[in-house]
Structure 1
Amino acid sequence: MTPNTATSGPSRRSFLANSAVAAAAVAGGMPLLAACGGSDSGSRDGTTSGKDAKKILPAYVASNVVTPDIPSKNGSSVGFTSKLDLAGLKTSVPKKLGKGSEVTIMSPFWGSPPKTDNAYYRAMNDLIGVDVAWQNQDGNTYEQKLGAVLASSDVPDVVVVPGWNMSGKIPSAIISKFADLGPYLSGDAVKDYPNLAAVPTDAWQRSIFGGKLRGLPMPASYVPNIVPLYRQDIFDKEGYEVPTSCAEFMALAKDITNAKAKRWACMDMKWVSFNAFGVLSGSEKPLGWNLVDGKLVNRIETEEFLEALEWARKLFAAGVVHPDAEMGKNAPDPGPKFAKGEFIIYAQDISQWWSRAAEQAVQNPEFKIWGMDLFGHDGGDPVLWATQPANIFAFVNKKASEAVIRDVLAVANVTAAPYGTKEYMMTNYGVEGTHYTVKDGLPTKTDQGNIDVMNAYVMVASPASTLAHPDFPDVTKGQVEWQQRMGAFTKKSPFYGMQIVEPSRYTNLSNDFEQLEDDITRGRKKISDMQQAVSDWKSKGGDKLRDWYQKILDENGSAAS
């Protein structure tokens, strides 16, 4: 399942494919990958937990270099709202840890890669003490390139693998081709790299592949990342009340909609409906299972799943959904029509709360976007399910020497520096004067900065999930506080944080469900068609897959809490 397709939120591929959004989101510390599209992730052997994991995991040592304006709570990101005092930036890496190795890094890249010998790369390498050579690959076709490289004998020193690319033979290649970083990072060893020691333990747990600590993670908030965004300026002008139940939402949607005047209430709200009815996460296959009365049950087998589809269908049937949503994945970017007010509510990744505000700040000063709290369908508290705490990883070649491995960790220790440090500014903004300028405490990329300082070093490792938009402090505060409120209702299902890849015989078992969901919500198929599909799923392997997951649960215990 891919939770965030064009009408329900951006898929990670489509979201990051927009290089401007990608650059802004990565540079702004966005929780880019809080939920990556339904790929298998890792290996059966990578489900190490409990006592075995404790032997492997790095010690956690919170960073005290910078104090966030809004601390993490209930699984939220940390937030920074204050303008930067560039003269007072803290130093989190007091001495170069790099010893001058040449390190090749292959990573997905969205946009046009800069020249290899640019000022940003030179400055970063000088700061770290390592000679990094980038092998940037088109992010949109990365999985094919990744498969070919991992099948060859010519594997770069470091390879970045997004969670959504961990399918086919790639998970087993990760185990066979990449180094165990445990000797350098497990337990107190991580204290040699203080910024890595401050990476949350859940993100490291997620970095265990084949029973070994192999990945350097990009941490994310586990709070569901799809937010019902709405035009607060129009709500205020028209006197609309933010709904707190499905019935209130439907009544409001009918009140807003006037097709003759080219105004509709919303886009496809399927993923909000899933949250309203407490449906298990569809962001990754293992998260779709939960233990109910001692038996594992999949999200598609629940009454809540059918009820959510039915409510989403009713919105389409009522005519309150913008016609573009009928096109599903092929719908155009909703941004321009949202800005025009053709619809005033849509479900999107939390990063768009800021990016839409930034887009409209100059040309449409009255525009104000805000996020609705997720609600229980009956008006009660919602039941939400955690997404994964990390979903992009960098791996080091198993053939790398100790010197190269330590220099890779030196790179990661700089790129994982927290917001408000010199290392963070260099990683995310480049060289002052060349790549960015500062006015009133707000750094702004120059044209050269937009060319050079793109999704490169941030892909190696990142600090704890951070939201930092000093240009829009109210949005930052809104985002973090939304996560904090929703985090209070977020539960962890049994396989949260585990790296699991299903046996290949089950790979295609649920391939058709997302299309069927969309056909049902748009009135092209019926709920009974889903019930039949679930019955077929069970007989064609779903029940055996349940047994397979049960064995993992028996061996490793549950992450549910």
Structure 2
Amino acid sequence: MTGAAVGAAALAACSGKTGAAVPHGDVKDLKLPAHLDPSPVPGQVVSSTAGVPVAFTRYPAPYRTVTEPPGHGGTVTTFQITYTPPPPANNRWADELDKRLGVHIKPTLVSAADLAQKTATVIAGGDIPDLFYLNTATGQAPAAAQSVLQGAFTDLTEYLSGDAVRDYPNLALFPSYAWKNASIEGRIYGVPRPEPLLQSGIPTLRLDWLRKLGMTGQPADADEMFAMLTGFRGQDPDGNGKKDTWALSSLQIYWQSTPILNMFGVPNNWRLEKDGTLTKDIETDEFEAATEYIVKLWKAGAFHPNAAANTYDQQMALWNAGKIGMSGAALNTTYIPDVPPIPGVKNWATDLGPLIPPGHDGGVASLYQSSGIFGMFAIPAKVGKSAKGKERVKELLSILNYLGAPFGSEENTFLTYGVEGWNYDLTHGVPVKSTDTSRRAELAGQYFCEPTETVLYLPGPPTMSVTAQKQAEKLIPHTIADPTVNLVSQSSVSRGPALQQNLNDAFVGIVTGRKPVSALKQLRGQWAGQGGDTIRREFQQSLAKSR
């Protein structure tokens, strides 16, 4: 069994431990938390287009949003995802975090690769930490949604819906789409980590390589995209006289291949038809056309030879070594402070940039709208049901209110960069992280619900952030949402991860030539028969109720 499948089984086994059944509803019935507009900050540019991030032409002079430590002493246990090695035992940043929060944070840090397995194991064990990172997305820890419906976590709707969220003013700044898409069956079970809607499928491109190919702008159609991607392999863009560069480092369907799916108009996971039925992306002619295109790229050498097996860390190592022309990671406010020196990149502001995929025959592609969240922080049911349950829940939400402080605030600057003079220094008003690896490692436990990714701040010329914002305003109308976001299908929870793994494995087999493109017909039938049709039916039922 895969880790995700083991997780689903473990959660099913623990259903008797999680408490009484929880109330079920629909997102149409949910009163979303009230939304507060951000207070004006010098350098802040607010877009009039819904869903477009606020831009900053300068790093704000840090301002305080929380005047007193939100905690009441004692210990708060956490379960958090991390993308870096464990922090050192002697950790000045963690000591300062405890002081600021008024509690001792005792974290359990889990790598992305282990998230699904360890999420299931901890929940099944019953001893759930006070603040628990839940990510119910397929490919993360989808079985966690089942634990929510079985009553493992506190229903936070009464604490956060409507004007109740005003008790936590930083959380009231979160975009409404984040709260909506984090809800489960019309209830709020966690504080989301917000992300921009325009993020899925917008990878980072080596613009300096693009210029070396003689291209003066983004590819205008499928032919120009092909010329660019194959040119990154065949035209020695790094100028070292060796054929040791590639365009892409991964063959996962929904990662570096996403811009190509966008280019051919493949649906965002599902397509909602006019009659209310759903069509899976792999069932469409557009997916078949995109697959044929990707096969041609593979044959032309655009992919790294180990693209079928490269882990995320291996992909980023190739990117950081200057061997790959396109990274699946978006160039956003979170990534920018950690951009390492990349061979050949003299100025990241001009040599790196987003790839804007074209339509296959010109124009703008149909871009995938993200869910607008990357997980959420939930509070276990045992806390809410304790003798001082409500007081403890409010204390934990106050701590999350601190952790969710807006970009540029004193709190957010500390959470992102650490202790000034130790983890970072201010250079011309801009935080610059220390080059000392041990000091940088102290921040391994910083991944909370901070909304840093929902703004545009690109250090460099003051106009860069506004230019990116204006680009986003043009692209947002071309985005398509996944119609099943925040809907729950029991079969998707139990079978989705295995089905997705089978799809990815079959896709890799087709691209690398082990099977012909015509094998897609058999693949579609297998997917439908092994649970896909059941998942479709359950999502359609949920959609019908939510209208």
Q: TM over 0.5, yes or no?
A: yes
The corresponding residue for 1:360 is: 341
Question: 1 CA distance for matches of 2:165 and 2:129?
Answer: 24
TM-score when normalising by structure 2: 0.80
Give the drift of 1:167: 4.4
Is contact 2:59–2:429 with CA below 8 Å preserved after alignment?
A: yes
The change in CA–CA distance for 1:391 and 1:330 in structure 2 (over 3 A counts) is: closer
Distance 1:163 1:349, change over 3 A: farther
Q: Is the alpha carbon distance of 1:386 and 1:111 closer, same or farther for their aligned partners in structure 2, counting shifts above 3 Å?
A: closer
| Alpha carbons of structure 1 residues 234 and 160: separation in structure 2 relative to 1, 3 Å | closer
Contact (CA 8 Å) 2:487, 2:539: kept in 1 or not? no
Aligned residue for 1:349, secondary structure, equals: coil
Match of 1:390 in 2: 373
Q: Give 1:293 shift.
A: 4.7
Q: Which residue of 2 aligns with 1:29?
A: none
Equivalent position SS for 2:361: coil
Superposed CA deviations along residues 108-161 of structure 1, whole A, max 9, x for unmatched, are 334343356743233223333334332334443233332222112322222112
Given candidates 443, 451, 472, the residue that maps to 2:431 is: 443
Alignment partner of 1:209 is 2:180: no
Shift of residue 512 of structure 1?
1.3
Q: 1:77 aligns with which of 25, 50, 53?
A: 53
Match of 1:170 in 2: 144
Residue 18 (structure 1) aligns with? none
Q: Distance in 2 between matches of 1:107 and 1:366?
A: 34
Distance in 1 (CA, whole Å) between partners of 2:22 and 2:158 is 22
1:404: which partner in 2? 392
Percent of aligned positions that are identical = 24
Counterpart of 1:170, as a letter, is: A
Distance 1:46 1:204, change over 3 A: farther
| Structure-2 residue corresponding to 1:59 | 34
1:465 and 2:441 correspond = no
Hey, what's the Cα distance between the residues in 1 that align with 2:338 and 2:114? Answer: 30
Q: CA deviation at 1:215?
A: 0.7
| SS of equivalent to 2:146 | helix
TM-score (norm 1): 0.79
1:329 and 2:346 matched: no
Aligned to 1:157: 130
In 1, the alpha carbon distance for the partners of 2:162 and 2:483 equals 25
Higher mean Cα deviation, 145-154 or 324-333? 324-333
Residue 502 (1) aligns with residue 480 (2)? no
Question: Does residue 297 of structure 1 match 2:273?
Answer: no
Q: 1:219–1:465: 8 Å Cα contact kept in structure 2? A: yes
Q: Please show how residues 63-142 of structure 1 align to structure 2 within 5 Å.
A: 63-64=38-39, 66=41, 69-72=44-47, 73=49, 75-85=51-61, 89-114=62-87, 118-142=91-115
1:492 corresponds to = 481
Please give the per-residue CA displacement for 1:479-502, whole angstroms capped at 9, x wherever unaligned. 545544332210224223445553
Residue among 411, 434, 452 paired with 1:423: 411
Instruction: Say which of 199, 206, 222 aligns to 1:231.
Output: 206
Measured in 1, the distance between the counterparts of 2:99 and 2:89 equals: 15
Mark the runs of 5 or more structure 1 residues left unpaired by the alignment: 1-42, 282-286
Query: 1:356: Cα distance to partner?
Result: 10
One-letter amino acid of the structure 1 residue matched with residue 328 of structure 2: Q
- 1:414 and 1:332 mapped to 2: Cα distance? 31
3-state DSSP class of the match of 1:156?
A: coil
Q: Which structure exhibits the higher relative contact order, with contacts defined as CA atoms closer than 8 Å and separated by 6 or more residues?
A: 1
RMSD: 3.4
Superposition deviation, residue 510 in structure 1: 4.4
Per-residue deviation, 1:205: 1.5
AA at the equivalent of 1:314: K
CA displacement, residues 80-99 of structure 1 (integer Å, 9 cap, x when unaligned): 341454xxx22222344433
1: CA distance, partners of 2:506 / 2:338 = 34
The number of residues matched between the two structures is 501
Distance 1:75 1:398 in 2: 33
Residue 324 of structure 1 contacts residue 332 of structure 1 at CA under 8 Å; is this kept in 2? no
Look up the SS of the partner of 2:125 in the other structure: coil
Q: Paired residue for 1:219? A: 194
